[in-house]
Chains A and B, each alone.
Chain A
């Protein structure tokens, strides 16, 4: 079964609204999680590193005010796309490393469509 749960799997929203995506590690704690964005026919692009108890680290070119990341607990990180616009439509994927097992697990992804 899945060891990283990502929710929702699909969301359709109106332009200007905010959307929250959750990433949960099941059965293990993750002080760090990663958020990726995947464009059609393109690779996964690392957006940011989510750090439990501290600010997220954003990659160059990613707007931190646009993509709010909160790592509230050792098993939950959330990505909020604020004031979403059609160009934010994409596939968002999170990952959580299980340090004890030295394995990184990926969520199933969230398909965001902004109308």
Chain B
């Protein structure tokens, strides 16, 4: 069965600090990988996704993630966070054949708090 693990449950950073949120998945086949963000009081929004090709993907708002197949990882990064990045971040996977429209398996989520 697929599973997703996010190592950081609560991260507190000052503005301009660099961010890296860990995500590891467990699945033997081809996977599609996603990072979603949930701002306070809002619905989940897609930050970025990886289906195939360049393992370094860039998303919205300056976020990027790197797929390392050998490590089953898809860590999220941002060089310089802003106060507005305060939110809940979720890593998710689905089976490779489902592209972006299949059921998702989510990680536990990471709460990011950015101090001004």
Chain A residues in contact with chain B, CB under 8 A? 2, 4, 32, 34, 36, 41-46, 49, 93, 95, 97-99, 102-104, 106-109
Q: Which of B43, B90, B101, B103 contacts A109 (CB 8 A)?
A: B43
B82 at the interface (CB under 8 A from A): no
Q: Is B90 touching A44 in the complex (CB atoms < 8 A)?
A: yes
Q: Is B109 touching A43 in the complex (CB atoms < 8 A)?
A: yes
Looking at chain B's contact residues, the main secondary structure is: loop
Give the residue name and chain of the A residue nearest to B44 (CB). A106
Complex interface: chain B residues within 8 A of A34 (CB): 103-104
Q: How far is the CB of A95 from chain B (nearest CB, A)?
A: 8
Q: Is B100 touching A104 in the complex (CB atoms < 8 A)?
A: yes
Q: How far is the CA of A41 from the CA of B10 in the complex (A)?
A: 10
Complex interface: chain A residues within 8 A of B100 (CB): 97, 102-104
Q: Is B101 touching A32 in the complex (CB atoms < 8 A)?
A: yes
Q: Is A46 touching B104 in the complex (CB atoms < 8 A)?
A: yes
Complex interface: chain A residues within 8 A of B95 (CB): none
Question: What are 26 A-B interface contacts by the 8 Å CB criterion?
Answer: A2-B43, A34-B103, A34-B104, A41-B109, A43-B90, A43-B107, A44-B90, A44-B104, A44-B109, A45-B106, A46-B105, A46-B106, A95-B44, A97-B100, A97-B102, A99-B101, A102-B99, A102-B101, A103-B101, A104-B46, A104-B104, A106-B36, A106-B43, A106-B45, A107-B43, A108-B42
